Amino acid sequence: MTEQPKVSAQRLTKKFGDLLVLNDVSFDIKKGEFVCLVGPTGCGKTTFLNLLVKLTEPTSGNVLIDGVPADPQKHNMSFVFQEPSTFPWLTVEDNIKFNLEIKKIEKQEIQKRTEHILEMIGLTEQRNAYPGQLSVSAEQRIVIGRSFAMYPDLLLMDEPYGQMDIKLRYYLEDAVLKLWRETESTIIFITHNIEEAVYLSQRCLIMTPKPTTIKASIENPLPYPRNVSAPEFIKLREQITDMIKWW
């Protein structure tokens, strides 16, 4: 018997008025898999994630999580947006605890997880600071920590490092990989940075420009931790780049 996919997009179509954004998109993502959606800016990657968390409804087709329609209130899932979405009125610690308290997890467990996450994102000493007192990168670390605090089955990340410099990007990419290994979450990571996609994911889904379809699904068997200057890494990166150039 084949394992039920964690996420299943079935003939997904999304129109905004006359504009066809997603055109009959279908794919499955396995449980615990780290998948990157790669495509040009404006191709509808964010729309797909918005469909997954019901921020918008599909024109036709379905998105299933564990075989049932996606619902953030029922499924243990988190979303990291492009912009840091910390709550400025909460301290770093309270931001981390936000969804744990929403989901009414036991206080002892909340404290245990919060300590763990604060340590992992390197903000234990700033636990009582407000996001406005910290840098943008620290804010994004809070958001990532907050997302992982739920030990989510499914984590959606929408170009979370889009506006960060290369050093910080590497740091946070490693942080996500570390959290992914510890929590065994399924991660869907959107990026238009091919190197980032190859560095992070086990599989890349290449998307076409609008109306978007899945052009290819490329397995990434390279072992972790990955070396961006290793020949096999460069080869895979160029293979994906060539596919994108083909457009």
Partner 1 sequence: MSKVKKIDVYYILSILSVLLLLAVWWAASAVNESLASPGQTVERFFRLIENPIMGKPVSVHILASMRRILVAFFAASVAGVGLGVCFGIFPTFRRMFWPVFSILRPVPPLAWIPIVILWFGVIGDTSKYIIIFIGIIMAIVINTYASISETDPLFLKAAKTLGANRWQTLVHVTLPNSIPAIFAGMKTGLSTGWMSVVAAEMIAAKEGIGFLINMSMKTTPDTALDFVGIVLVALCSSLVSFVLSVIERKLCPWLELDVK
Residues in touch with partner 1 (CB under 8 A) = 53-55, 72-73, 77-79, 81, 83, 85, 87-90, 98-99, 102-103, 130-135, 146, 150, 156
Is 83 or 174 the residue whose CB approaches partner 1 more closely? Answer: 83
- Smallest distance from the beta carbon of 82 to partner 1, in angstroms? 10
Contacts of 212 (CB under 8 A, 6+ apart): 21, 22, 23, 25, 39, 43, 44, 45, 48
- Smallest distance from the beta carbon of 88 to partner 1, in angstroms? 5
CA distances 236 to 195, 221, 226, Å, are 9, 10, 12
- Smallest distance from the beta carbon of 128 to partner 1, in angstroms? 10
- Smallest distance from the beta carbon of 20 to partner 1, in angstroms? 24
- Smallest distance from the beta carbon of 176 to partner 1, in angstroms? 17
Buried b / exposed e along 31-44 (16+ C-beta atoms within 10 A): eebbbbbbbeeebb
Is 90 or 244 the residue whose CB approaches partner 1 more closely? Answer: 90
- Smallest distance from the beta carbon of 7 to partner 1, in angstroms? 15
Is 98 or 151 the residue whose CB approaches partner 1 more closely? Answer: 98
Is 53 or 194 the residue whose CB approaches partner 1 more closely? Answer: 53
Residue 228: phi, psi to the nearest 5?
A: -65, -15
Is 183 or 208 the residue whose CB approaches partner 1 more closely? Answer: 183
Is 141 or 240 the residue whose CB approaches partner 1 more closely? Answer: 141
Name beta bridge partners: 8: 28, 64
Is 94 or 174 the residue whose CB approaches partner 1 more closely? Answer: 94
Long-range contacts of 22-27 (CB under 8 A, 24+ apart): 22/47, 22/48, 22/51, 22/58, 22/211, 22/212, 23/211, 23/212, 23/213, 24/61, 24/213, 25/61, 25/212, 25/213, 25/214, 26/61, 26/214, 27/205, 27/214, 27/217
Query: What type of residue is 23?
Result: N
- Separation CA 7–CA 71 (nearest Å): 12
- Smallest distance from the beta carbon of 190 to partner 1, in angstroms? 14
Determine how β-strand 186-191 pairs with β-strand 34-38: parallel
Residue pair 155/4 in contact by the 8 Å Cβ criterion: no
